[in-house]
Amino acid sequence: MLICTSCGKIFEQYSTKTWEEDRGEFWGEPCYEQMSVCPFCGDNYTNAKQCVICGSWIKEEDWNICEDCLNEEFTIDNCLEIGEENPAEIEINGFLASCFTAEEIDKILLEALMNDPDRVKDAIEKYAADDMLYFAEWVGEKWKKQR
């Protein structure tokens, strides 16, 4: 399946608009180049693949998830799971650090975060945007496992 890089429509190879363009001569033989474009808008196309979640067609070089599906995956649960797999180190007051275990500190921070809904939304977007390709691939893998 093919997808137009301009209009985003989907079509098969046989329905592309094709022609031969005159490229002059090569060793005395007339030379033509096979040209083909999107049948709808006449622009370039590329190979298409399906979004791993909803199955809609996207460009082969895109991430494995379409934009709509990706937006729905910006959730606190996903971010917490990714954060769990990718622990971060911070420097905090040594005395305070000695008062709590790492699990307790996680819990305290999560509670503080959930009490501040505006911060949650911003935090999710910032965390996902920090490495969107990683986020998209992680979500894709999660979906594949769930099936």
The nearest distance, CB 78 to Zn ion, in angstroms, is 15
Catalogue the E-assigned strands of 27-79: 29-37, 45-50, 57-59
Residue 54 or 112 with smaller CB distance to Zn ion: 54
DSSP helix/strand/coil, 13: helix
Cβ at position 130, least distance to Zn ion in Å: 22
Stretch that binds Zn ion, among 11-19, 47-55, 73-81, 93-101 (CB under 5 A): 47-55
Nearest to 66 by CA among 78, 51, 77, 79: 51
31's tokens: 């030379």
Q: How many CA atoms lie within 13 A of 21 on its CB side?
A: 8
**Helix, strand, or coil here: 124?**
helix
Rounded least distance, CB 21 to Zn ion, Å: 19
State which residue, 44 or 86, has the beta carbon closest to Zn ion.
44
Count residues binding Zn ion (CB under 5 A). Answer: 13
Binding to Zn ion by CB under 5 A, coded x per residue (else -) over 50-89, reads: -x-xx-x---------x--x--------------------
Question: How many CB atoms neighbour CB 109 within 10 A?
Answer: 10
Under 8 Å between Cβ of 57 and 69: no
Of 122, 97, 118, the closest CA to residue 108 belongs to: 97
Task: Select from 2, 3, 38, 136 the one that contacts Zn ion (CB under 5 A).
Answer: 38
**Measured from the CB atom, is 102 or 133 closer to Zn ion?**
133
Looking at beta carbons only, is 53 or 139 nearer to Zn ion? Answer: 53
Instruction: Give residues in contact with Zn ion (CB under 5 A).
Output: 4, 6-7, 38, 40-41, 43, 51, 53-54, 56, 66, 69
